[in-house]
Chains A and B, each alone.
Chain A
Amino acid sequence: MIHKVLIANRGEVAVRIIRACRELGLSTVQVYSEADAHSIPVYMADQAVLIGPPPPAESYLRGESIVEAALATGCDAVHPGFGFLSENADFAAAVQAAGLTFIGPDPAAIRTMGLKTEALALVRAAGVPTLPGYAGGGTDDDYRHAASQIGYPLLVKATAGGGGKGMRIVRAENDLPEAIQAAQREAEKAFGDSRVFLEKYIENARHIEFQVFADRHGNTVHLFERECSIQRRHQKIIEETPSPYLDAELRARMGTAAVSAAQAVNYVNAGTIEFIVDMRDGRFYFLEMNTRLQVEHPVTELVTGIDLVKLQIRVANGEALPFRQPDLTQRGHAVECRVYAEDPSNGFLPATGRILRIVEPHGPGIRVDTGVGTGDEITIHYDPMIAKLIVYGQDRADALRRMDAALGQYVILGLTNNLRFLRDVIRHPDFQRGTATTALVEREFAAWQPPADPVPDDALIAAALFDSLTTQTLAPGSTLMPATGDSHDPWARADAFRLGERR
């Protein structure tokens, strides 16, 4: 039985896992790097253990330190979250070898699905459709020859990869060698494995994935799809379920294929089968399996009513799934927007810095999953995601209106972010109609600029009042705002609150 869980991750997913553990009555241990010493999950967990300096390779990717921390604090299970070591078969094996429960699939399944070319061969044998490709490994000439057979455009992908890293689109033979080299470098950095393979690139595609879940009692089900077609740089930014594209017949066929793919590797626990759907003929192809919880899992939770993280822990505990396929239904509609510290008007370049002020939206059907708040910093060391904003509505139109309104309530000051951009994408006619493909952002938003609204007098008045009230009524050196993080005296603030109030 699991009593105490070590969370081998950071940020919003760590917060998500701690919440699930708390609801199940389990104790939690949060590991953290020096950069995260004052992060939210460190304070939420029952215990926290420092595992190293900020670079992931010296902290969150150090499996041995994490296992050591789990043993030293008396944990009996490890939840890897997503990213970092979540799809590292050696880590899962090391956790098990230490006598701990790995909350996720078996190492063998992770290993097989982690090598994309092996996974493709295996699911193809199980009758699941895959795209034309070349497994790689040959000379430059082999790649060139294979590429001309597959036809351009094509994708160079990391064999050990995922998440858009080490991925390049190639449209002409001239660009192939450089794309392969760049992909190899990025793959080596991101995954410690420079191997790449080629795959046909479908231009006007929809990216639709299926959540699967399996227990150790022979049950494998799918929890329907997530539509993830809205992407930038091959990374998802908006996800929803149900997909506006699928009808009941195609949904059932893809669901069955997803279950077959999972069964092909004797999969246990939560996983996701990613498909690409060619809009020209409606055919679908297996892309890869993610052997972990997904970033976008909340939309599935909202429409199925199932807490996926708690279910992960229960299944890891040896329990059987409490439902069968016919018990599962989709109710209502859910949409998720990923709020990033990035500049959509400048190639989505990540932004770093301190969040001077954050005001999250609240209201019926609005959920914010985040690991940062006012005063926290987005650094170069980790993913620049600030939060996930998830809304639920009775139908798609209802959910989209709610998302639009919630994005409008969201305030982030001091850090470049994509809130306004997300709102414009949500309002785009193609997205509203449900016909958007993976090409939408590149095609329609390449020249996107934030609206240059003239600064209203009210904004200047507010700033001047604030400057006046915070400098005149406070003792020198104190300030109301956590501007650079060097003013942490709560009494100065409480005092100013009263002083500034109307008599």
Chain B
Amino acid sequence: MEYRYQVGDEIKVVRIERNGDDYQITVGEHACTVQVDRLSPGELRFTRDGQPRLAYLASDGPRRYVAFDATVYTFSQAESASHRRRAAGTAENALAATMHGQVVKILVSEGDRVTHGQPLMLLEAMKMEIRITAPRDGRVARILCSEGQIVERGQTLIELAG
């Protein structure tokens, strides 16, 4: 059985072979022997090369969360190359909502010239006001939301050009 995980820019390949009560596991070139001692919802106790390890785990779609001691590691089941290209394709010129919230006020119009740091719109979430400002000088190419609209985190709000 082979599992591929995207860790930063790298793809890590984990191979698991069952061998009686043991698992022979390789991570990249590195091989080890593992026993699964206890598995319960969100928790795994295992012994790797004689060393007992306790991990807390969770998943959300392809996302994997693993905690050892005080550190949480996050990575993903590796995606196909085409999916990655699409994700990277969103333009630098697009300003996205940093969190789920409501557009309170749009301070510019399409075609306006804006300068670095100029407030473009106000979002509100959890009674906090969040200002979306121009990351550079440019022109407002498109406004993709309207006042009062609820927007998702990551949703493009404004596109800049020039």
Complex Cα–Cα for A412 and B38 (A): 20
Complex Cα–Cα for A465 and B46 (A): 9
A-B contact pairs, 25 of them (CB 8 A): A357-B58, A411-B72, A413-B58, A413-B65, A420-B70, A455-B73, A455-B75, A459-B55, A459-B73, A461-B32, A461-B34, A462-B57, A463-B66, A466-B44, A467-B59, A468-B16, A469-B36, A479-B59, A480-B41, A481-B42, A483-B60, A483-B61, A496-B39, A500-B39, A502-B35
Chain A residues within an 8 Å CB radius of B77: 467
B49 to chain A, nearest CB (A): 10
A502 touches B61 (CB 8 A): no
- Residues of B in contact, count (CB < 8 Å): 59
Complex interface residues of chain B between 10 and 37 (CB less than 8 A to chain A): 12, 14, 16, 21, 23, 25, 27, 30, 32, 34-37
A480 to chain B, nearest CB (A): 5
Complex Cα–Cα for A185 and B66 (A): 42
Judge whether A497 is part of the interface by a CB distance below 8 angstroms: yes
Chain B residues within an 8 Å CB radius of A382: 126
Complex Cα–Cα for A501 and B48 (A): 16
5 A-B pairs with least C-beta separation: A500-B39, A356-B58, A408-B70, A464-B14, A462-B55
Write the residues of chain A forming the contact surface with B, with a CB cutoff of 8 angstroms: 165, 182, 185-186, 189-190, 346, 349-352, 354, 356-357, 359, 374, 380-384, 407-414, 419-420, 423, 453, 455-469, 472, 479-484, 493, 496-497, 500-503
- Please tell me which one of the listed residues A354, A411, A419, A461 contacts residue B46 in the complex, with CB atoms under 8 A apart: A461
- Please tell me which one of the listed residues A357, A409, A456 contacts residue B65 in the complex, with CB atoms under 8 A apart: A357
Complex Cα–Cα for A410 and B71 (A): 10
Q: Pick from B41, B55, B124 the residue with the most CB of A within 10 Å.
A: B41
B64 touches A190 (CB 8 A): no
Chain A residues within an 8 Å CB radius of B100: 352, 380
Chain A residues within an 8 Å CB radius of B60: 354, 356, 414, 483-484
A468 touches B70 (CB 8 A): no
Q: Which of B109-117, B127-135, B141-149 lies on the face that meets chain A? A: B127-135
B70 touches A481 (CB 8 A): no
B46 touches A357 (CB 8 A): no
A489 to chain B, nearest CB (A): 12
Judge whether B1 is part of the interface by a CB distance below 8 angstroms: yes
A359 touches B56 (CB 8 A): yes
Closest to A493 in B: B41
Q: Pick from B7, B44, B58, B127 the residue with the most CB of A within 10 Å.
A: B58
Chain A residues within an 8 Å CB radius of B124: 189
A189 to chain B, nearest CB (A): 6
Q: Pick from B14, B59, B130 the residue with the most CB of A within 10 Å.
A: B59
Complex Cα–Cα for A380 and B34 (A): 42
A299 to chain B, nearest CB (A): 23
B40 touches A497 (CB 8 A): yes
Chain B residues within an 8 Å CB radius of A411: 56, 67, 72
A349 touches B130 (CB 8 A): yes
Closest to A496 in B: B39
B127 touches A165 (CB 8 A): yes
Chain B residues within an 8 Å CB radius of A185: 104, 129
A469 touches B39 (CB 8 A): yes
Q: Pick from A359, A380, A423, A503 the residue with the most CB of B within 10 Å.
A: A380
Chain A residues within an 8 Å CB radius of B46: 461-462, 465
A495 to chain B, nearest CB (A): 11
Q: Pick from A190, A359, A412, A480 the residue with the most CB of B within 10 Å.
A: A480
- Please tell me which one of the listed residues B36, B40, B99, B127 contacts residue A351 in the complex, with CB atoms under 8 A apart: B99
Complex interface residues of chain B between 89 and 138 (CB less than 8 A to chain A): 98-101, 104, 124-130
A465 touches B130 (CB 8 A): no
Chain B residues within an 8 Å CB radius of A483: 58-61
Known: A357-B42, A409-B70, A481-B41. A465 touches B36 (CB 8 A): yes
Closest to B8 in A: A455
A461 touches B73 (CB 8 A): no
Complex Cα–Cα for A464 and B57 (A): 11
B98 touches A413 (CB 8 A): no
Complex Cα–Cα for A311 and B100 (A): 40
Known: A457-B27, A461-B14, A464-B16. A481 touches B125 (CB 8 A): no
Known: A346-B98, A458-B48. A190 touches B58 (CB 8 A): no
Known: A411-B56, A463-B57, A497-B39; 11 extra A-B contacts, CB below 8 A, are A189-B127, A356-B60, A380-B101, A380-B126, A413-B67, A460-B27, A461-B25, A465-B16, A468-B3, A481-B42, A484-B60
Chain A residues within an 8 Å CB radius of B55: 458-459, 462
Chain B residues within an 8 Å CB radius of A420: 70
Judge whether B69 is part of the interface by a CB distance below 8 angstroms: yes
A351 to chain B, nearest CB (A): 7
Closest to B124 in A: A189
B7 touches A455 (CB 8 A): yes
A480 touches B42 (CB 8 A): yes
Q: Pick from B99, B100, B127 the residue with the most CB of A within 10 Å.
A: B127
Complex Cα–Cα for A464 and B78 (A): 12
Chain A residues within an 8 Å CB radius of B57: 357, 413, 462-463, 466, 481
Complex Cα–Cα for A453 and B67 (A): 12
Chain B residues within an 8 Å CB radius of A407: 70
B130 touches A458 (CB 8 A): no
Chain A residues within an 8 Å CB radius of B130: 349
- Please tell me which one of the listed residues A346, A461, A468, A480 contacts residue B27 in the complex, with CB atoms under 8 A apart: A461
Complex Cα–Cα for A55 and B75 (A): 34
B65 touches A414 (CB 8 A): yes
Complex Cα–Cα for A274 and B25 (A): 58
Known: A186-B129, A502-B37. A464 touches B25 (CB 8 A): yes
- Please tell me which one of the listed residues A349, A413, A460, A469 contacts residue B72 in the complex, with CB atoms under 8 A apart: A413
A151 to chain B, nearest CB (A): 26
